[in-house]
Chains A and B, each alone.
Chain A
Amino acid sequence: MLQKIYDWIDERVDVTPIWRDIADHEVPEHVNPAHHFSAFVYCFGGLTFFVVVIQILSGMFLTMYYVPDIENAWKSVYYLQTEVAHAQIVRGMHHWGASVVIVMLFLHTLRVFFQGAYKKPRELNWMVGVLIFFIMLGLGFTGYLLPWDNKAYFATQVGIEIAEQVPLIGPEIKTLLAGDENIVGAQTLTRFFAIHVFFLPAALFALLAVHFLLIRRQGIAGPL
């Protein structure tokens, strides 16, 4: 039955080359932990993506309850945490995932760096990867404010004050992030919500697509 459905679609759309481009390739021995256990270092990138998927899914479920305004943000998180079935686990996954993804990214970066895997012809992929790292830090910074508790509020205030000290464009950055020249408040929360949920994920997906496209195009760097 499944085969028939596949054939029906394939006859019309010719999907076979597409999925073969994505999935049909040989995995070389030197990256396969089944042959060399030390090759587990090659898992870090994939696990980073795995945590990203966890972040996306748990984040989608969190937005079903979360309300991005200063009256209700904290209350909705508190409600999630104490009343909603399994929401403590979902929020826990999003909270801890934010830390674990940084750790995995860090390990993945170190693996690529110390193996010199960013050398020609893979310079572009390395730069895309570093940009993904920056995006992740941005997601961490903006997501930290959303529960609207004390640590969120004051950390954001300090962060914005630091951004303000940048020469020439500092005050503009502050206004862009906080929504006001002086106040960290209602505008800041909605802006951070928009940045955290729409702007940065959009940039992240684009960069991830390029990252994966390049790795499929160029292949994993050969053994040292």
Chain B
Amino acid sequence: MHRGKGMKFVGDSRISAERKHNIPKDYSEYPGRTEAFWPNFLLKEWLVGSVFLVGFLSLTLAHPSPLEGVADPTDAAYVPLPDWYFLFLYELLKYDFASGPYTLMGIIVIPGLAFGALLLAPFLDNGPGRRPYQRPIAVGMMLLAVTSVIWLTYESAAHVDWETRAEQNKPIHPDEQVNIDTEDPGFAIYESNCLSCHGDDLSGGGAGPSLIGIDRSAEEIATIATDGVGSMPADQFTGSDEELDQLVEFIMSVNEE
């Protein structure tokens, strides 16, 4: 570019008076009514931003951000799920051509081609025409990609029972977390009979519900332990009547706190 002595400018600006190749035209050369960015246009942008902010804050007020229970690496029953904007990649990996022996297809080849093409789009679609109908291949590929991303996201999200997930993984206040007396003779009985389903802290697990905060009498607990209830089969408890008493006492004591 020509610099220094002899350089001519447009008016008092720093725009070169000589037209160079590939340098866009001055705004004043665009047809129609231009407007000064500062302060006229910025004020209008500010209005758009304000409306946007009101909508955004309404969203945050109407839907408090979720928080699940504290991470428990031993919770084998938890079904992992990424944030929604990764769901399409996650769903892609479930297809036969992108999983098992073809995993590389799903994690490298397909996303690599798609995002690589996105990155290099100006060089793949390098014709002079800018209108969509002048570049049918690029526009077609993009429409296909957008449709697949939306479809994969929908497929992945539609099969999730969001409400049940949120209900099952509610956070427990640290103060409400019951102290379980593992020295209690009842805990040993709980450990050998009930722990595999109801969890080592009685908070429930994949198969059984939480035993904390239940509203049942000692007799009811004893009956459920021997006869089962709902999806819980009978004879889960195998031991003497004395042990059953200790177990019931233990579960009752946890709920008293």
Chains A and B are bound partners: yes
The interface of chain A, by Cβ under 8 A from chain B, is: 17, 21, 23-30, 32-35, 40, 43, 46-47, 50-51, 54, 70, 74-75, 77-78, 81-82, 88-89, 91-100, 102, 110, 113-123, 126-127, 130-131, 134, 137, 140-141, 144, 147-155, 157-159, 162, 165-167, 184-185, 218-219, 221-224
Q: Is the CB of A219 within 8 A of B126?
A: no
Q: Is the CB of B71 within 8 A of A123?
A: no
The contact string, 1 if C-beta is below 8 Å from chain A, for chain B 55-71, is 01101110111111111
Q: Is the CB of A102 within 8 A of B85?
A: yes
Most buried by B among A24, A116, A152: A116
Q: Roughly how many angstroms separate A38 CA and B169 CA in the complex, as a whole number?
A: 44
Q: Roughly how many angstroms separate A25 CA and B14 CA in the complex, as a whole number?
A: 12
Contact of B73 among A23, A75, A184 (CB under 8 A): A184
- Evaluate whether A35 and B32 lie within 8 angstroms (CB atoms) in the complex, with A118-B121, A150-B169 already known: yes
Q: Is the CB of A32 within 8 A of B35?
A: yes
B118 within 8 A of A: yes
The interface of chain B, by Cβ under 8 A from chain A, is: 14, 22-25, 27-28, 30-38, 41-42, 44-45, 48-49, 52-53, 56-57, 59-61, 63-73, 75, 78-86, 90, 93, 103-104, 107-108, 115, 118-123, 125-126, 128-132, 134-135, 138-139, 142, 146, 169, 171, 173-174
Q: Is the CB of A120 within 8 A of B71?
A: no
Contacts between the two chains (Cβ within 8 Å), count: 222
Most buried by B among A75, A119, A131: A119
Q: Is the CB of B67 within 8 A of A23?
A: no
Q: Is the CB of B107 within 8 A of A165?
A: yes
Most buried by A among B69, B125, B126, B130: B130
Most buried by B among A25, A26, A98: A26
Q: A140: shortest Cβ distance to chain B, in Å?
A: 6
The residues of A that contact B70 with a CB separation of less than 8 Å are 74-75, 148-150
Q: Roughly how many angstroms separate A196 CA and B234 CA in the complex, as a whole number?
A: 50
The residues of A that contact B123 with a CB separation of less than 8 Å are 123
